[in-house]
Amino acid sequence: MRFDLRRTIPLAMAIGLAGTLALGPGRSVRAQDDDDGGGLCSNRTLRGDYGFDIGGTILAGPRAGLLRGVALTHFDGHGGLSQVDFVTNNGVPAGTDWRPGTGSYDLDSNCTGKAEISFTDGSPTLHLRLVVVRGGREIRTIVEGNATGSTGIKVR
């Protein structure tokens, strides 16, 4: 059997196109990678501790400026969370120590969701949108109402 590259490449492209079309527009979009065994997300997808890198810009108000920080967030697998974070605003620490917070999260089956975090120091409650990726090993967030977000990686 002789291998003819001029025939093989168009044939491979046609098979790939046919496979893509077979999946069709009815296939649902999922933020989760397919390495999770084919399951869908739920609040149970987030269990354990995640380390977050926080960054962005606060555009208005008394604390306008460049925001950088780190956080350790514990998700309980049932929609509850607790967190400590340390942030700087324009390089100046926003507090003197780790700031504790508690809240809730709700994860949809397509691995998108929402979270709220309230703090004991009087800071405003954060309202987050999130996407879970890499089989629950990573979380991407954005804070509603300002230009800040974070990426969290599962610690344990």
Q: How far apart are CA 83 and CA 7, in angstroms?
A: 58
User: Model confidence over 33-72: pLDDT tens digits?
Assistant: 434 445 699 999 999 999 999 999 988 888 889 999 999 9
CA–CA distance from 154 to each of 2, 53, 93, 99, 133 (Å)?
A: 50, 12, 25, 20, 11
pLDDT at 89: 93
Q: What percent of the chain has pLDDT over 70?
A: 75
**What domains, with CATH codes, occur in the chain?**
43-154 (2.40.128.120)
> CB-based burial of residue 85 (10 Å sphere; 0-12 exposed, 13-18 middle, 19+ buried)?
buried
pLDDT for position 145? 86
Region 111-127 average pLDDT: 95
How high is the pLDDT of residue 144? 94
Q: pLDDT band for 8, please (50, 70, 90 cuts).
A: very low
In this structure, the strands spanning 99-107 and 80-89 are antiparallel
Q: Whole-prediction pTM value?
A: 0.74
Strand partners, 101: 83, 119
